[in-house]
Amino acid sequence: MSIFTSMNTTASALTAQRLRMDVISSNIANVDTTRAKQVNGEWEPYRRKSVTLTEDQGQFSSFLNKAMNQKETGGNGVRVTAINDDNQTPFKLVYNPTHPDANQEGYVQMPNVDLLTEMVDLVSATRSYEANVTVFNASKSMLTKALEIGK
């Protein structure tokens, strides 16, 4: 196990949480976007996006250690596998007959973004990011102290 394994694991989590915050920010920014994508000649509202995280499968050394039946040490971190559109949640219908995208009944299809859900997800991602920064700083401090032993 390398002395930088914990830092590499934490760095992958920091990168994943930063991307998660970027996607959430995009969802919040497009909460009123009624013309995001054209489908079959019709404009479709913005669809909420979400990030899928999985365990990082690691580097060649982790596969070599498993093949040699050695004890696996530490985790490999996380990685983003996909940014998915929320196709399950329907668009919201808002009555606004003066809107340029209103249908014959006066309803406008609005994005399926719930601001409260996005804010909860943003707080969760922020807390995860902060926790990983703390872990990174603790690892850095331990490595610094270990190097001072040799003085």
pLDDT at 121: 96
**Placement of tokens 């060649």 in the chain:** 60
Residue 81, pLDDT above cutoff 60: yes
For the chain, which residues make up each domain, given as ranges? 5-149
Cβ-count burial of 113 within 10 angstroms (0-12 exposed, 13-18 middle, 19+ buried)? Answer: buried
Residue 18: which pLDDT band, with cuts at 50, 70 and 90?
A: very high
More confident residue, 76 or 93: 93
What value does the mean pLDDT take over residues 32-47?
A: 89
- 3-state SS, 46-62, equals CCCEEEEEEECCCCHHH
